[in-house]
């Protein structure tokens, strides 16, 4: 991995790890629907300004439908699920659920005929879903309806992200990263906006709340997604998507160190099992069977 690629990889891991903490503050100020709608419009708007300032000619030849689907899943579905779940289950639990995205992605890719499942992949899927059971079934907090609903929302968020990624890979493969990010975030914001009357902004946000919102939308959404798509083209899907594992580590450390969140030993084992399962699914763990040399 070249220095620029390594820097981009670490930038994604650290920025997305801290995004869970910023997300909590934005949801508290703007509500879980407002946090998504406003964040999406800011991300799309920032990138439009960048494109205009750099003279980049945007091309949306794929039509509106693919952007609407990716916006509904990868943006609206994923971010609404996370915004709803994180205050209820904590940043650590939410981040660990996000680490299951590669598992869902492999299943969807297999159903669509995009992925071939080896014995290792099947073993990884079994391990991953066993880890999810351990994670959700043995929490450090009382199992309330809110906790269960939050876990369901986090896992639904991961599924939406996986679905949107596979759909984009099939229908927006020849569209630029900037156009994909702008179009999908704008569509996601439009789709989330009608929910705002049902979940209104809880109060009058202060200046620091708007600063957090700009940080979440302008940096932790716009810049990171463009970086992600750039890295995807440089080092491939397998190594790029593995950043979710490092994001989980950072988010768990932030949750424990800054927010005082706790996880049970069984949940930590479940997190390790999920990561091991994803590593098998993605082919990150090398397969080097030991063979005795013929003499």
What is residue 121's predicted lDDT score, i.e. its pLDDT?
66
The span from the CA of 193 to the CA of 184, in Å, is 14
What is residue 294's predicted lDDT score, i.e. its pLDDT?
41
**72: exposed, middle or buried (Cβ count in 10 Å: 0-12, 13-18, 19+):** buried
- Residue-wise pLDDT tens digits, 174-197: 888 889 889 999 999 999 999 999
Mean pLDDT over each residue of the chain, to the nearest integer = 82
The span from the CA of 218 to the CA of 43, in Å, is 5
Percent of the chain scoring above 70 in pLDDT: 83
Average pLDDT score over residue span 231-235: 73
User: 210 versus 101: which is more confidently predicted?
Assistant: 210
pLDDT-based confidence at residue 291 (cuts at 50, 70, 90): very low
What is residue 106's predicted lDDT score, i.e. its pLDDT?
75
The span from the CA of 256 to the CA of 159, in Å, is 26
- Residue-wise pLDDT tens digits, 4-51: 888 888 899 889 888 888 999 999 999 999 999 999 999 999 999 999
What is residue 295's predicted lDDT score, i.e. its pLDDT?
39
DSSP summary character for residue 292: P
């Amino acid at each position: 991995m070249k220095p620029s690629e390594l820097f981009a990889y670490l930038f994604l891991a650290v920025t997305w790890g801290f995004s869970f903490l910023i997300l909590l503050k934005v949801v508290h100020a703007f509500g879980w629907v407002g946090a998504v709608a406003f964040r999406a419009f800011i991300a799309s708007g920032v990138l439009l300004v960048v494109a205009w300032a750099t003279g980049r000619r945007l091309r949306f030849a794929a039509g509106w439908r693919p952007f609407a689907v990716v916006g509904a899943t990868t943006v609206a579905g994923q971010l609404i699920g996370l915004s709803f779940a994180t205050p209820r289950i904590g940043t650590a639990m939410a981040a660990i659920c996000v680490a299951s995205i590669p598992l869902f992605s492999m299943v969807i890719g297999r159903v669509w005929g995009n992925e071939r499942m080896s014995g290792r992949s099947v073993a990884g899927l079994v391990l991953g879903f066993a880890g999810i059971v351990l994670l959700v079934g043995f929490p450090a907090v009382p199992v309330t309806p809110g906790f269960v609903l939050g876990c369901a929302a986090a896992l639904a968020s991961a599924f939406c992200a996986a679905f949107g990624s596979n759909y984009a890979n099939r229908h927006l493969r020849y569209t630029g990263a900037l156009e994909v990010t702008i179009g999908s975030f704008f569509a996601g914001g439009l789709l989330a906006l009608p929910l705002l009357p049902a979940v209104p902004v809880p109060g009058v946000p202060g200046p620091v709340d708007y600063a957090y919102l700009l940080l979440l939308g302008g940096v932790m959404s716009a810049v990171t997604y463009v970086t992600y798509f750039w890295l995807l083209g440089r080092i491939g899907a397998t190594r790029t998507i593995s950043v979710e594992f490092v994001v989980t580590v950072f988010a768990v450390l932030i949750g424990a160190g800054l927010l005082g969140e706790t996880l049970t030993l069984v949940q930590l084992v479940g997190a390790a099992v999920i990561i091991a399962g994803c590593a098998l699914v993605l082919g990150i763990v090398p397969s080097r069977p030991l063979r005795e040399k013929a003499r």
